[in-house]
């Protein structure tokens, strides 16, 4: 912290190195496989885990697919599209939850692997 000449007021504040241990340990843009897996498991049908990982197009695909599937279920009484989306999200949840932090980051954060 830098003070003015009289020492009464601070002019500038500087962050300390190591002040944010999570950012220092994982780096900027860190995404947790546990968070991604739980989002896929509980909110996967609406694509929340894809939005969390930064895959907005894939998140929109899941969201629109779920809405269309619900509409088809109401009209035609077929649940196959919803079951397919559910299986995709379940598989992704299992994959995310079983990967190590390093593998998850290399594959889905840095590698930008969109599906499975």
- Model confidence pLDDT, tens digit, residues 62-110: 999 999 888 888 777 678 888 889 999 999 999 999 999 889 988 988 8
Give the DSSP letter of residue 15.
Answer: P
pLDDT tens for 20-70 read: 555 555 666 778 999 999 999 999 999 999 999 999 999 999 999 999 888
Which letter does DSSP use for residue 4 in this model?
A: -
Residues 93-104: tens digit of each pLDDT: 999 999 998 899
CA distance 105 to 99: 9
Distance CA 81, CA 8 (A): 67
CB neighbours of 116 closer than 8 A, spacing ≥ 6?
91, 92, 95
Sketch the domain layout of the chain as residue ranges: 32-99
Q: How far is residue 47's CA from residue 35's CA, in Å, rounded to a whole number? A: 13
């Amino acid at each position: 912290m830098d003070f003015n000449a009289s020492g009464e007021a601070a002019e500038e504040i500087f962050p300390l190195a190591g002040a944010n241990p999570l950012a220092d340990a994982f780096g900027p843009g860190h995404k947790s496989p546990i968070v991604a897996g739980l989002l896929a498991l509980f909110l996967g049908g609406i694509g929340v885990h894809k939005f969390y990982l930064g895959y907005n197009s894939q998140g929109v695909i899941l969201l629109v697919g779920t809405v269309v599937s619900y509409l088809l279920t109401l009209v035609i009484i077929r649940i196959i599209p919803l079951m397919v989306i559910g299986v995709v999200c379940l598989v992704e949840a299992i994959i995310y939850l079983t990967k190590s932090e390093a593998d998850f980051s290399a594959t889905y954060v840095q590698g930008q692997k969109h599906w499975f």
